[in-house]
Structure 1
Amino acid sequence: MGGFSCGTEAGTRAGTDATTGRGSGRADRRAAAGAAGRTAGRGPAHRGRVYATSTLDLPRTPVLLALTFGALLMAVLIPLSGSLVDRQGARRMYMVGMAPFGLSVFPAFWLFHSTGIWGFAAAIALTLGVVHASFYGAQGTLFASLFPAEVRYTGMSVVYQLSGAYASGITPLLMTTFLALGHGAPWIACGYLAATAVVSV
């Protein structure tokens, strides 16, 4: 990627040392760190939907309604999260949100597994509506701060596209494999999702 320089004057300035490539290496490492930080963004919401409808045989329409409510709640709370970022800092708010994400995975899937559609709805409202909003509001500011202004747009694009490719791309396959290894029980898959929270911080 050449530190996102793309042969431009701005990229050369951001690289700081075109001969040694030290600036390029910094940009590439920051992109990798940002992509790792987005790993947990693919949390139990989508995986929970598949698990609820295919493994638990919960009715599809109530499941989708619960997800819609969780998404609307997240949309309401993200601006509040953003305002807290302005006061507390993006890194702190990201950590504050990521810790409960990791801790909520096992309880969320226990609710999916044990209490039917109402438990699923409550777990989605908590994990998607509240927990995701708490760290999602900090992501843009946090990841933008990884890159100097000259390469920020390209750096953010790499972070989002790279994380989308490997996190969204392989997670469904991994979750299916973990569910098969657990004979339908979600706990191995939950361990993987909790581990993504550790990677993200």
Structure 2
Amino acid sequence: MDKDKDLRRVLVASVVGSSVEWFDYFLYGTVAALVFNQIFFVTEDPAFGTLYAFATFALAFFIRPLGGIIFSHIGDRIGRKKTLVLTLSLMGLATFLMGVLPTYGQIGLWAPVLLILLRLIQGLGLGGEWGGALLLAVEYAPKEKRGLFGSVPQMGITIGMLMGTIALSIMTLLPQEAFITWGWRVPFLLSALLVIFGLWIRKGIEETPTFQKTQEKGDIPKLPIADTFKYHWREVLIATGAKVVETAPFYIFGTFIVSYGTQNLSYNQTSILMAVTVATIITTILMPVMGSFSDKIGRKKLYVGGTILMILYAFPYFWLIHQGSVALLFLATIIGLGVIWAPITAVLGTMFSEIFSANVRYTGISLGYQIGAAVAGGTAPLVATALLIRFNDSYIPVALYIIFTALISLVAIWTVKDRHNEELDEDLVTVEDKAN
């Protein structure tokens, strides 16, 4: 088999599956801000309807660590590839069913209950997807291109968001009543086609060389979660803390802004969604550039630099969007989501992979990533909305919240050794070695 062709297929498989998963996931976040507070979470005060909608957005983040545990167990025991098929199928089914779900006006309380159930299923699927997609790329990568390869599945996050944003931007061009009634459902239903394509592209991909070597050595743990917490609990804490700055500001810039901009700053939905779209295109282009750059200077330097910029940008971001100018809204979103966030997310997954041993790597990176996402990601729009309500629509507490998340991550990453010049498993002993 042509090695270069095989590597290209691996990269395509990792980014396509990841993109489909995140497309499904982000649809919910954006529609929660625009529609669900009106047809599923019906209250007299629109602000509280939005708060409830974002609360269900956050619920999936809390279930993601469980999904990470379940599917990473399968991934470390049976293999990366089989796990990815399961997670993609689960996500796709849940998203399609959301598109046909009756509203509160049709079936009453059962509508939000069923919506929450499907959202939790989405969370379970995504909890296992990310780690597998990342390892599919990283464990196939040559040492000198590991940062580049590791950034490719990260592109799935923004590609998925981009597809979701474009789909909803088109649908918001409908009359408001048509969009609320049926327009928002179209992207959910079309996601079924994307899932079929994602499953097809992953067909024929062999198991990663690293996992095959682990199998050959008989180094498969019986209970990966137990071994991870016993021998790699420090790495899990580091990964959890490092994830915080990558996830909280992202959901402020990309999801919270939709409700905040329309309800508090009088921007129209289309302008905000287009600003997010442009910023997402830019960060998607920058990710492989940053990943490749990390192969030259190291992951940690890029990550720390991006985090410091995030601290410095928190207040200027809100000042810019408060000027009431659509041009400045675009500029603010492009700087935050398009430029500053790119180096942080591009190196995150590769950096996680380099601190865990191969036999528990799927479990380790999934736990750190998903716990961090649960603590700071899904709660970000909820916390930001609650802070606005508590402090009379002042953005100062929200800006301080962004700074706080960055400081947590800087502390977490402080002791991490940059391993970009080392083989993936060099100097990392196995669980059995540690036990002896």
Query: d(CA) in 1 for partners of 2:368 and 2:242?
Result: 9
State yes or no: 1:10 paired with 2:220.
yes
Q: SS at the partner of 1:11?
A: coil
| Number of the residue aligned with 2:370 | 161
State yes or no: 1:34 paired with 2:239.
yes
Query: d(CA) in 2 for partners of 1:172 and 1:47?
Result: 5
| Number of the residue aligned with 2:358 | 149
Alignment of 1:85-164 (within 5 A): 85-164=294-373
Query: d(CA) in 2 for partners of 1:160 and 1:191?
Result: 23
The alpha carbon displacement at 1:26 in A equals: 4.3
The alpha carbon displacement at 1:146 in A equals: 2.1
Q: SS at the partner of 1:135?
A: helix
Which amino acid letter does the alignment assign opposite residue 335 of structure 2? L
The alpha carbon displacement at 1:61 in A equals: 0.1
Q: SS at the partner of 1:33?
A: helix
Note the aligned Cα RMSD (angstroms). Answer: 2.4
| Number of the residue aligned with 2:101 | none
TM-superposition CA deviations, 1:85-144 (whole Å, max 9, x none): 100111111101111011111100110112422111101111111111121111111111
Q: Which has the higher mean CA deviation after the structures are superposed, 46-55 or 82-91?
A: 46-55
1:149/1:164 CA distance change after superposition, 3 Å: same
TM-score calculated relative to the size of structure 2: 0.41
Query: d(CA) in 1 for partners of 2:229 and 2:268?
Result: 51
Percent of aligned pairs sharing the same letter: 28
Q: Which consecutive residues of structure 2, in runs of 5 or more, have no partner in the other structure?
A: 1-68, 78-217, 411-436
| Number of the residue aligned with 1:181 | 390
Alignment of 1:62-81 (within 5 A): 62-81=271-290
Q: SS at the partner of 2:377?
A: helix
Which amino acid letter does the alignment assign opposite residue 87 of structure 1? K
Query: d(CA) in 1 for partners of 2:265 and 2:324?
Result: 11
- Report the number of matched residues: 192
Structure of greater Rg: 2
Query: d(CA) in 2 for partners of 1:47 and 1:103?
Result: 20
Q: In 1, are the aligned partners of 2:219 and 2:359 still within 8 Å (CA)?
A: no
Query: d(CA) in 2 for partners of 1:195 and 1:110?
Result: 18
TM-score calculated relative to the size of structure 1: 0.86
Q: In 1, are the aligned partners of 2:320 and 2:332 still within 8 Å (CA)?
A: yes
Query: d(CA) in 1 for partners of 2:322 and 2:284?
Result: 27
Query: d(CA) in 2 for partners of 1:84 and 1:71?
Result: 20
Q: SS at the partner of 1:31?
A: helix
Which amino acid letter does the alignment assign opposite residue 239 of structure 2? G
Query: d(CA) in 1 for partners of 2:291 and 2:409?
Result: 19
Query: d(CA) in 2 for partners of 1:91 and 1:194?
Result: 19
Which amino acid letter does the alignment assign opposite residue 237 of structure 2? A
| Number of the residue aligned with 2:22 | none
Q: In 2, are the aligned partners of 1:73 and 1:125 still within 8 Å (CA)?
A: yes
Query: d(CA) in 1 for partners of 2:305 and 2:371?
Result: 24
Structure 1 runs (4+) greater than 3 angstroms displaced: 8-12, 23-26
